[in-house]
Structure 1
Amino acid sequence: MPAQTGLRPLNMKHGWPALALLPLAALSSIFNWNPAIILVLNITSIIFLSQAITASSVELAAHLGELQGALLSATLGNTVELTAGIVALVHGQIPFAQSVMVGSILSDILLVFGCCLVTASYNKDVLGFNNALAKTLSSLMMITAVTMLLPTALYASFPIAEINKKVLLFSRGTSLVLLLLYGGYLYFYLGTHNYLFISDNAETDSDEDDEPSSPLANRAKLALSVTRLIAAVVATIFCTEIVIENTSDMADTLGVTEVFIAIFFLPIASNSTEGVHVIAASRTGDTDSAIRVIIDSLLQIGLFVIPFLVVIGWCVAEPMTLFFDSFQTVAMFLAILVVNHLLRDGQYAYIHGAMLLALYCSLVVVMYAR
């Protein structure tokens, strides 16, 4: 996985605790249990299944090669977001699909990144980022943010009668450009400038893990990884669909909106494993690797998943666009702007992480109050 170069995945028994929860998650939906119980069971299952997908993707990347592994992990690492987006599109719930994407970005750059900075720099002096890496990633972040702000500018430039068609045309064309940019980013990451993304910790881990094994053992390990990956992806899709189908009842029971569930519950479940990896890496001092995980996850959402959903909506005749809810767009842009300024500054202390966490909590309160 390109995002996880240099991070040693945590075991957590590769997500097998989900096997005990999946039957309960299915029964809760079949027999119409309390919506809160349905939400807890399925969200918990998604957390363990995300770990299984991550572990299997990393193992397959070692067999398939860096580029193929990167493409596989970029797709499967966002299984929850992709599934939620596609299922919501099929049901005509475009705002729900967009809210999941915004929530994933906010949880990555505010919640996970904030925890990373606090863990890495608490009781330490002011620390620094890899300057070249930070500036490259911050530029890509701003491009992602700007493409999501442009539809808002279009709404202020055209008559109401023409705007929907104009924004739809802009969104589809821009999505194709963003997909090409993501391909170029992967080539930059894994090809021409891969030295920017290699950490000393990653090289040391690689040397330690290089142990001779027989071809038969390699084939058996590959088969096990593929089987586990397919099973985890199918189960994740199943659990995510259950959550989406019961979102309305869950919202009524918990006293929140469906958008609140889309922005906070699903992304936190999807990014939980990534967050554990990042915090573990930052505790060892490998903050650059942790930053790569977080920013690359944002780029995967902004440059791959969202444009891909626009193209999918194009194929199924659903008007999925890059025009998001105005408040969500502003919140996301400001969050990216704050993180971009932090990366450009090149230095950080635990107070910077605390500020990111405070901003995330503030957004939770605002979204709850809306």
Structure 2
Amino acid sequence: MGSIEGKSVTVELENVCLINQAFPSKNLSFEEDLPIDHDCENFLQDVMKIKVFSSIKTVVLSTKINLLMPFGPLAILVDKLFDSHGCVFLLSILGIIPLAERLGYTTEQLAFFTGPTVGGLIYATFGNATELIISIHALKGGLVRLVQQSLLGSILSNLLLVLGCAFLAGGLTCYKRQQEFNHANATVDFGLLLMAVMGLLFPAVLHATHTEMEEEKSELALSRFTSCIMLVAYASYIVFQVKIQQTFQVSNDQDKVLKEVTSKEEEAPEISMWESMIWLSILTGGISILSEYLVNTIEGASKEFNLPMAFLSVIVLPIIGNAAEHVGSIIFAIKDKLDISLGVAVGSSIQISMFVIPFCVIAGWMVECPMDLNFQPFETTSLFMTVILVAFILHNGTSNYFKGIMLILCYLIISASFFVHVDPISIGKN
């Protein structure tokens, strides 16, 4: 009994100690509670620091092309310290390249959270954000010809140089057979490109034949009306691609369904939705700042390098500005994913011709900068021949390295033509 009583006393003492620890008799002051809250704040700060560092590592440090980012601040510094428009122009282009590539990456990440419909609209808005920002800055400065020629150069570069390099690389990799792609999708895409050519052709013909009802006013009114129609057509194209074609591509093949399910399961966003939106704002702001320096120095760079403005706008600017798209299209072609390569090259051309160009006409209307769709006969003829040539090469749904060589050689012919071409509008201004 004694031992039992001793044990009961010990248990009661332990219970009293536990009660005293859980509910202390004295009142704790605010200063005594503060260390606990301070530890929580430190923990949250550490978590935020880790999250920020992880986001920076994923977006900034994950690709070697970001080694070009210091050229952006260097362009601003050179502009402040030296009077060299040529150096500022080159440094601005080099600084825009990684920002444009990362802008495409963050847009892709954001599309994971928005679904296919909104994702298509995001791609429509930010897919060619670099060209759009440069064009807006040029419109503010009244440089309508720079807008027209740079956007035209982006289309020519994508259809001939980017697609040609992709076909050449893919053809050399798969030299024992011809690569194939979805011919039906290509037909729809080139139908839209021909519609864009039609929209640019009639204002140019109207101006060249002097058959306007009211001089200059009819041409501008026709351009603005056509731009609204082109925007409606592009919006319908997005809905068609996102909604209707998904039903057309339904297959009863179970193996194909399993492959699609596994591929979707493997795809996952690398950064969160809010991180994507924050990075999207930061990168867009950086491109906007450098674009202003680029636009302000292109005329001086033309004089320093003794190169025509048309050549810099149509050839040099689009090649460097679309460098990331060039590399991506070639990589997909090497992996025998030619449909994606076509989506990069032809899809980007459609965005520019059916969305960016009409949007710039409407934006110029709003800021009282009279931009029209009269790209002049030389530029319009270059676009018309390019679209016809590429559509003819892709008509059978197959590709090989020789077709790539043909497209690259055609781009060299156009490059040489713009090198010796003198813009008649620039002569009139002088």
TM-score (norm 2): 0.77
Aligned residue runs from structure 1 range 148-159, under 5 A: 148-156=200-208, 158-159=210-211
1:355 is aligned to 406
1:186 is aligned to 238
Specify the SS of the correspondent of 2:130.
helix
Contact 1:80 1:266 in 2 (8 A): no
Q: 112-121 or 196-205: which moved more?
A: 196-205
2:137 is aligned to 87
Q: Distance in 2 between matches of 1:14 and 1:57?
A: 19
C-alpha change, 1:12 and 1:109, in structure 2 (3 Å) is farther
C-alpha change, 1:71 and 1:366, in structure 2 (3 Å) is same
Specify the SS of the correspondent of 1:344.
coil
Q: Distance in 2 between matches of 1:202 and 1:292?
A: 19
2:189 is aligned to 137
Contact 1:142 1:340 in 2 (8 A): no
Q: Distance in 2 between matches of 1:241 and 1:124?
A: 48
Specify the SS of the correspondent of 2:177.
coil
Task: Map Cα deviations across residues 89-108 of structure 1 (whole Å, 9 max, x no partner).
Answer: 11111111100110010010
Which of 283, 290, 296 is the matching residue for 1:245?
A: 296
1:4 is aligned to none
C-alpha change, 1:54 and 1:166, in structure 2 (3 Å) is same
Task: Map Cα deviations across residues 113-166 of structure 1 (whole Å, 9 max, x no partner).
Answer: 000100111223333331211222121121111211111232355446724111
2:364 is aligned to 313
C-alpha change, 1:339 and 1:204, in structure 2 (3 Å) is farther
Identity of counterpart residues, as a percentage?
28
Q: Name stretches of at least 5 consecutive residues in structure 2 with no aligned partner.
A: 1-58, 422-430
Q: 195-204 or 152-161: which moved more?
A: 195-204
Q: Distance in 1 between matches of 2:109 and 2:260?
A: 15
Contact 1:60 1:226 in 2 (8 A): yes
Specify the SS of the correspondent of 1:38.
helix
TM-score (norm 1): 0.89
Aligned residue runs from structure 1 range 169-318, under 5 A: 169-194=221-246, 205-210=263-268, 221-318=272-369
1:42 is aligned to 92
Q: 288-297 or 119-128: which moved more?
A: 119-128
Distance apart, 1:17 and its partner CA: 3.1
- 1:368 to 2:419 alignment: yes
Q: Distance in 1 between matches of 2:250 and 2:274?
A: 29
Q: Distance in 1 between matches of 2:368 and 2:377?
A: 24
Letter in 2 for 1:234: G
Specify the SS of the correspondent of 2:394.
helix
2:166 is aligned to 116
Letter in 2 for 1:87: H
- 1:326 to 2:377 alignment: yes
C-alpha change, 1:158 and 1:250, in structure 2 (3 Å) is closer
Contact 2:179 2:338 in 1 (8 A): no
- 1:147 to 2:147 alignment: no
C-alpha change, 1:104 and 1:10, in structure 2 (3 Å) is farther
Distance apart, 1:39 and its partner CA: 2.3
Letter in 1 for 2:343: R
Task: Map Cα deviations across residues 221-260 of structure 1 (whole Å, 9 max, x no partner).
Answer: 2222222211111111111110110111101111102222
Greater RCO (Cα-Cα under 8 Å, separation 6 or more): 1
Task: Map Cα deviations across residues 284-327 of structure 1 (whole Å, 9 max, x no partner).
Answer: 10101111221111110111000001101111122111110211
Specify the SS of the correspondent of 1:65.
helix
Specify the SS of the correspondent of 2:374.
coil
Distance apart, 1:274 and its partner CA: 1.3
C-alpha change, 1:248 and 1:158, in structure 2 (3 Å) is closer
Distance apart, 1:13 and its partner CA: 2.9
Aligned residue runs from structure 1 range 6-21, under 5 A: 13=63, 16-21=66-71
Q: Distance in 1 between matches of 2:361 and 2:260?
A: 36
Q: Distance in 2 between matches of 1:42 and 1:117?
A: 30
Contact 1:171 1:322 in 2 (8 A): yes
Letter in 1 for 2:131: E
Q: 118-127 or 164-173: which moved more?
A: 118-127
Distance apart, 1:171 and its partner CA: 0.5
Distance apart, 1:196 and its partner CA: 6.3
Task: Map Cα deviations across residues 182-229 of structure 1 (whole Å, 9 max, x no partner).
Answer: 100000011111366899787654332259xxxxxx9x7222222221
Q: Distance in 1 between matches of 2:263 and 2:418?
A: 42
Indicate the structure (1 or 2) with the bigger Cα radius of gyration.
Answer: 2
Contact 2:86 2:298 in 1 (8 A): no
Contact 2:69 2:98 in 1 (8 A): no
Contact 1:116 1:353 in 2 (8 A): yes
Q: Distance in 2 between matches of 1:203 and 1:113?
A: 30
C-alpha change, 1:242 and 1:331, in structure 2 (3 Å) is same
Q: How much is the aligned-residue C-alpha RMSD, in angstroms?
A: 2.5
Distance apart, 1:11 and its partner CA: 8.4
Contact 1:45 1:239 in 2 (8 A): yes
1:59 is aligned to 109
Contact 1:172 1:311 in 2 (8 A): yes
Letter in 2 for 1:206: K
Q: Distance in 2 between matches of 1:265 and 1:202?
A: 40
